[in-house]
Chains A and B, each alone.
Chain A
Amino acid sequence: MISIETHNLTVSYNRRPVLWNIDFELPTGKIIGIIGPNGSGKTTLLKAIMGLVPTSSGYVKIFDQDLNDVRSRVSYVPQRESVDWDFPASVMDIVLMGRYKKNNLFKRISKADRDIAAEALEKVNMLEFSKRQISQLSGGQQQRVFIARSLAQGADLYIMDEPFIGVDAATEEAILKLLSDMKKDGKTVVVVHHDLQTAKDFFDWIVLLNTRMVAAGPIEEIFNETLLQEAYGGKLNVLSQVGDLMKEKAFDVRES
């Protein structure tokens, strides 16, 4: 069974490709790391998978279908820094957002929704904080709230952007335990991660990325000196020059 398939996926900013022809198929029921140096397009890849940035070529399939047909089965955890934590809301308010759907937006929040949200908070050990204002949370607690919101969606596939960055040891442990529980339930988790040291212990499967895909596969096959060297050994010279040319000459990856 395939969770995410990308086919020749190219994503450009101002016509310069930041991801070139990404082509992979990820399995289900695994914890999958997307790993690469800074500026290698990890976050962009997640956003492209979630349809948040326009793609210049290729396509993404989730559970062999269009994203729009399986949205309820996919959950996205954005980077913690992407929102303003001074926002006037309680932890519960945020987690309840996970119960929002396109077709229940005008309906009131139900008791069932609240129960599910409380359950999700319990899973990240944050239930006692449910009435706390989000501006009073620590970085690790913020991250756990974000993950609880995602859990409340009750999806099969979870896509998380840097959940381990800037969190305390307790949070890291809590998230790791959660991930392995989710795996036991047959869920798939895709995690963008920047730290090579810990990657080996965290993931079953990895995708090595540096504007192009260097390798993808089970960790024991991929995590070796040669491939890591290739991923972290800088960008491909010709590739980035062609990218610069495309921006300069306003050229698209596909003939229009």
Chain B
Amino acid sequence: MILGASAAIVGCFSFLRKRALVGDAIAHSILPGVCLAFMVSGSKNPLYLIIGAFITGWLSLLLIDAITRTTKLKSDTAIGIILSVFFGVGILLLTSIQHSGNASQAGLDKFLFGKAASLTKDDVYIFGTIALILIAVVILFYKEFKLISFNPDYAKVIGLPVQFLEFMLATITVLAVAVGIQAVGVVLMAALLITPASGARFWTDKLSVMILIATAFGAISGFLGSYISYIAPSMPTGPWIVMCLSMLTIGSIWFAPRTGMLAKFRVQKENQRKILIENVLKLFYHLGEKDGTFKKQRSTSVLLASRDLRIKELNRGLHLLKKEHWLRKKGDNWLITQSGLNEAKRIIKLHRLWEMYLNQRLKLEPDHVHNDAEAIEHIITPELEKQLEKELNYPTKDPHESVIPYAE
């Protein structure tokens, strides 16, 4: 759990600095480090392994940077080269160790897919300590990290030691990856960095909240994944952690308030409803304007004849308007109420004001302004309405010489 959480925190910064896949490269680069450390020290002591991992992890960062700086290769290619070659070397060493029949190698391949559920007590202490140090560093340097993530130039200007901070950030990223690999393994490590941060992004614009949510995602998934692999030992821990993370993130994409897909659909539906009832209301106004009275009852067929609407749509609109008390039903006919008339006037006024605006400010011909106004009338707020009136100097007629109705 702690492993997942600490990786998620660090991941937020990688995500915001648009270097999400660098984490992937670091993760792959750690494998040869671990193998080398094992070959040199001959033991599985996690401390040695982490030091080895740390060295090759850092080396990969430096190499990616050097390749993009000195050649015409772009950063994605540089990342691809480093991750695949380091991983290839790692696999070569790993298989060589395995084939040499060294009895204590058994634990090394756990680095590939992770096995958080089977960590020993000593492992837990060491990794736990490192994870806590990571969290402490992030809290300590929170403000500085935030600044170099969002605005590195500004950070430089106000005299922050940007290079030192970037070095710190890179170091904790490498450490987080080295530790996180225990949980999910090399191949899926990228998910631990990227996925929680991406999911959290949908819930908030604030960095502190984002980090909290991402951490929670990481912790929950870490727990669930380990639990699954604990009750069903044949199940690999890492993939399940990633599975949980992905589900949380995809869930966020759908259900997050405001930015989620469902929220967006709801807004669409709401917009459509608004457009429908306002359009039907306008019908009553137009008919009334033509006849010189708004007190006449209208039948469905008359309404249908004067606007291109499907009958189902019209009926839905009529009933919605009745609920608002803007229409009244008399037998088979419909009558607009006083409050409905006021509302209709407001929309007609916005429509004609906008036509006027397009005509005057955008110099559009009168026969080109109607379609646009049909849409914009539904969206103009009272404040904008006032601005429009003022800017156009309270016009009384629109470009088609129709009267603009003002509220009494």
Contacts and interface: CB of A to CB of B under 8 A. Distances in A.
- Direct A/B contact, Cβ within 8 angstroms: yes
B207 to A, nearest CB: 22
Given A86-B72, A238-B384, A251-B271, A8 B379 contact: no
A154 to B, nearest CB: 33
Nearest to A87: B72
B381 A23 contact: no
Interface stretch (A38-46, A184-192, A242-250): A242-250
B275 A255 contact: yes
Interface of B is mostly: helix
Interface of A is mostly: mixed
Contact of A245 (B264, B268, B358, B379): B379
A254 interface: yes
Interface of A: 7-8, 10, 20-21, 23, 57, 86, 135, 212-213, 215, 236-239, 241-242, 245-246, 249-256
Contacts of B371: 8, 57, 254
Contacts of A215: 363
Nearest to B390: A238
Nearest to B270: A249
Contacts of B361: 212, 236, 238-239
Interface in B28-61: none
Contacts of B275: 255
Interface of B: 72, 264, 267-268, 271-272, 275, 279, 357-358, 361-365, 368, 371-372, 374-376, 378-381, 384, 387-388, 391
Contacts of A239: 361-362
Contacts of A237: 387
Nearest to B376: A242
A7 to B, nearest CB: 8
Nearest to B264: A250
A241 B388 CA distance: 11
Nearest to B276: A255
Among A57, A215, A242, A256, max chain B CB count under 10 A is at: A242
25 contacts: A7-B368, A8-B368, A20-B362, A21-B358, A21-B372, A23-B365, A212-B361, A212-B362, A238-B357, A238-B361, A238-B391, A239-B361, A242-B376, A242-B380, A245-B379, A245-B381, A246-B379, A250-B267, A250-B268, A250-B271, A251-B375, A252-B375, A255-B275, A255-B279, A256-B272
Contacts, number: 66
Among A10, A239, A249, A254, max chain B CB count under 10 A is at: A249
A20 B268 CA distance: 22
Given A23-B368, A242-B380, A245-B381, A253 B375 contact: yes
A195 B363 CA distance: 25
10 pairs of A and B residues whose beta carbons are closest in the complex: A86-B72, A212-B362, A250-B267, A251-B379, A245-B379, A255-B375, A8-B368, A253-B375, A255-B275, A238-B387
A249 B379 CA distance: 8
A187 to B, nearest CB: 29
A51 to B, nearest CB: 21
Given A213-B363, A251-B378, 8 more contacts: A8-B371, A23-B364, A57-B371, A57-B372, A238-B361, A239-B362, A241-B387, A250-B264
A253 B358 CA distance: 14
A248 B387 CA distance: 19
B384 A241 contact: yes
Nearest to A239: B361
A249 B365 CA distance: 28
Contacts of B372: 8, 10, 21, 57, 253
A75 to B, nearest CB: 29
A17 B327 CA distance: 35
B352 to A, nearest CB: 15
A213 B378 CA distance: 24
Contacts of A251: 271, 375, 378-379
Contacts of A135: 72
Contacts of A252: 375
A254 B379 contact: no
Given A242-B380, A249-B379, A250-B271, A21 B368 contact: yes
Contact of A242 (B271, B272, B384): B384
A238 B356 CA distance: 13
A133 B374 CA distance: 54
